[in-house]
Amino acid sequence: MKKLILGLLCCAGVALSPLASAQQASGQLSANQHPAPLKYGIASSADPRATDAGMQILRQGGSASDAAMAMMLALTVVEPQSSGIGGGGFLIHSDGATGGLTTINGRETAPAAATPDRFVDKNGKPRGFLEILPGGRSAGVPGNIRLMAMAHRKWGKLAWAALFGPAIKLAEEGFIVNATLAARLKQISPFWDDFPETRQLFSVDGKLAVAGDRIKNPDLAATLRQIAAEGPDVFYQGEIAKKIVKTLTTAAVNPGDMTLSDLANYRAKEQNALCAPYRAYVVCGMGPPSSGATTVLQILGTLRPFDLTKMGKDNPQSWHLIAEAMQLAYADREKYLGDPDFTSVPTFGLVERDYLIQRSKLINPRRAAKSFAAGKPPGAEPRTAAISGETSGTTHFVATDAAGNIANMTSTIEAAFGNQMVAGGFVLNNELTDFTFAPEKDGAPVANRVEGGKRPLSSMSPTIVFDQDGRRVMALGSAGGKRIIMHVTKSLIGAIDFGLPLPDAIALPNIYFGRDKILVEENTPLAAMAEELARFGRPVEVTDVGSKVNGVQWTPAGWIGAADPRSEGTVLAE
C-alpha cells in the first residue's frame, strides 16, 4: 500500500499542503479533539449511546473492527430511523502496522424476481417515490450482518457474541428518545396507518414517543441474542430470515417478492479501494456500486489547478469553484455509475488525471456555467444519463484501536425508517428506491436500473487519507443521501486546502445544488456570502443543508476524533 501511495504521489508533483502545516502547529486542538497517547482507542458516531458501545468494546481489548460493529448494532437500537441490521453499508479498514486497505461491500441486493420495470406504471412511466417507498417491494436483501461476519473473521479479537452486549442491553433496558428521533417520528408517523406494528414499537403508553420518553425493544433484544448465539446464518437462513420474508410478502402496501433463497444467497464482497492523489495526499474510498470515491475524487481532481489555499475559506470565489467542480462530477455520476457486476463502469477513467484536467478547463473562475453535461472518460461506453433518488436515512461511525487499526463505516436503511416496516424488532430498508425508476431513457438502458441480484447505486463515502509518506492522516464519512459526497469533500478541502483541524473542517458551511440553484447552509458564513456568490451567475438559495459527519485525524499528539456539531454525535477517546 505504501508503494502504491508513493507512486501516486510521484505523479502529483505538488508541495506539502496546509494540512501538514496545521498538524505541525501547536495549540490548535479544538473541543472534540483528544490528545494521545491512548490506551484503548477512539470511537466516534452520531449517537452517544453508540459511541459508548464502541468504547466499551475497546476497553475489553476489542479491535477497531469489533468496536465499529458494536456501534452498528447499537445504532440499530437507538437510531432506528437511519440504519441498522435491516440495511447495509460499506466498510473501509486500514491495518495499523502496514496501512493496507481492505473494503467490504455490504450493500443490499435486489430480490431475484426484480425486473427493470419494477417501479413503472402500466403506461411505462416511473411511479412516484412516495408511492413505492412504503411496503415490501422497495426492500433489498440486508447486508450488514454478512459484512459484520466478514469483518469479524478478518480483524475480530473478541468473541462474536461479545459485540452484541451493549446493543442487547440498550434494547432490553430501553433508551431515551432524543430530539432527532422525536422529530423524525413526528414527521413520518402520519404515514403509518398501514403499519401498526411500527407505530406500536415507537409508542409509549399508547401515544407516539416524544423526546425524553424511554423505549424498550424486547423483540430486537431477542433477535440480537439469537444472532449472537447462533451466528450470522440464522439471519439469512433461519428463523429471522423467515420473519423478514413473511413481513415483506404480506405487507398491506406494495407486498414484496423477496424469498428465503434471496437471503440465503446473499454475500458481502471484499473489493479494492479506489485511490487518487490530491495535493500532497492520497484519498481513498469505496469503488462502485458506491459513487462516493469516484465523485469525491473527481471534485478534488477538478479543483487541483486552482489555489484554494491562497483564496481561503472566506472567499466567495473558493465556493464558486467548489460548486462548479461539484456539478461537473455529479453529471458524470448520473450517467456512468452503477453496479459493475451488471454494467460497465469506467471507474478508473472517471478519476484519470488527464480527463480531470479536461473537466477542470470547463470551469470559468469568474462565471458559472449555464449547464453541466457528463464528459467522456476513458473506457466509457455509450450511456444514457438519468437521475437516481436517494434520501438521508444513513449514519457514519469510525473507530481506532491501540494498534492503530482504523474501521470506518457508513451504514443505511435509505429513507427515514426505511420501508416503514419492522421484523424481529428492527426496521427494514427501502434501498431499491436508490435504483433509477425508469429502466431506459432516449431508447438506451440506464446504468442504475433495477435488476435481480443487483446492488443499487449509493453515495456513501467512507474515506481514508494518506500523507506523502504513506501514513494515515484522516478517516471520515457522513450521512445525507446524495449530499454525503459533498459533506465529505467539503471536509477534505477544509483540512487539506484551508489547513483546518478536522473538527473545524467538518464545521465549515455545507454546499449542494438543486432546482438550478446553488444551495448553501443557513446561519453560516457562507449564507452571508450568498449575494456575492450569486454574482458568479447562478442563483443561490440559503436553506437547511445539514450533515452528520464523524471522523478521526492524526496529529503530532496522536489520533484525535471529531463529530459534526450539527448532530448529536460524540467522540470518546481513552
Q: Which tens digit of pLDDT belongs to each residue from 272-289?
A: 999 999 999 999 999 999
- Residue 515: what pLDDT? 84
pLDDT reported for residue 386: 60
Residue 522 covered by a domain: no
**Kind of pairing between the strands at 540-543 and 517-521:** parallel
Q: Residue type at 515? A: R
Kindly state whether residue 245 falls inside one of the protein's structural domains: no
Mean pLDDT of the chain: 92
Asked if 528 and 315 touch (Cβ cutoff 8 Å), the reply is no
CATH code for position 505: 1.10.246.130
User: Cα(447)–Cα(449) distance, rounded to whole angstroms?
Assistant: 6
Tally the C-alpha atoms within 13 A of residue 120's C-alpha that lie toward its C-beta: 16
**Mean pLDDT, range 140-150, rounded to an integer:** 98
- For residue 15, name the pLDDT band (cuts at 50, 70, 90): very low
C-alpha cell at 341: 457486476
- pLDDT score of 16 more than 50: no
> What's the average model confidence in pLDDT over 543-569?
95
Kindly state the average pLDDT of the residues 421-433.
98
pLDDT band at 19 (very low <50, low <70, confident <90, very high): low
* Cβ pair 335, 293 in contact under 8 A: no
Across 510-535, average pLDDT: 96
Q: Report the range out of 12-21, 119-128, 381-390 with the highest average pLDDT.
A: 119-128
Give the separation between CA 371 and CA 358, rounded to whole angstroms: 16
Residue 517, pLDDT > 90, answer yes
In a domain, 159, yes or no: no
| pLDDT of 391 higher than 80 | no
Question: Do 33 and 562 touch, CB atoms closer than 8 A?
Answer: yes
**For residue 13, pLDDT beyond 80:** no
Distance CA 527, CA 512 (A): 12
Q: Is residue 383 part of a domain?
A: yes
Give the global pTM. Answer: 0.94
Q: Which residues pair with 522 in a beta bridge?
A: none
- pLDDT score recorded for residue 102: 97
Give residue 277's domain range: 2-33+272-389+457-513
* pLDDT 10s digits, 223-271: 999 999 999 999 999 999 999 999 999 999 999 999 999 999 999 999 9
Residue 477 resides in a domain: yes
The DSSP secondary structure of 111-174, one letter per residue, reads -TT--TTTTB-TTSPBPPHHHHSSSGGGPPBP-HHHHHHHHHHHH--S-GGGGGHHHHHHHHH-
Q: Has residue 69 got a pLDDT over 60?
A: yes
Categorize the per-residue pLDDT at 547 as very low, low, confident or very high, splitting at 50, 70 and 90.
Answer: very high
Q: Is pLDDT at 12 greater than 80 in this prediction?
A: no
The dihedral built from the CA positions of residue 464, 468, 473 and 474, taken in this order, carries a sign that is: negative
pLDDT confidence of 18, banded at 50, 70, 90?
low
| Domains held by the chain: number | 1
Q: Catalytic residues, which ones?
A: 391
Q: Does residue 468 lie within any of the structural domains? A: yes
| The dihedral sign for the CA sequence 541, 546, 551, 554 | positive
The pLDDT value given to residue 445: 83
Average pLDDT in the 30-50 region?
Answer: 78
- In a domain, residue 499? The reply is yes
Q: Examine residue 413 and state whether it is found in any structural domain, yes or no.
A: no
pLDDT band at 393 (very low <50, low <70, confident <90, very high): confident
Question: Under 8 Å CB-to-CB from 318, ≥6 apart: which residues?
Answer: 308, 311, 312
**Alpha carbon of 350 to those of 302, 360, 490: distances in Å?**
11, 13, 20
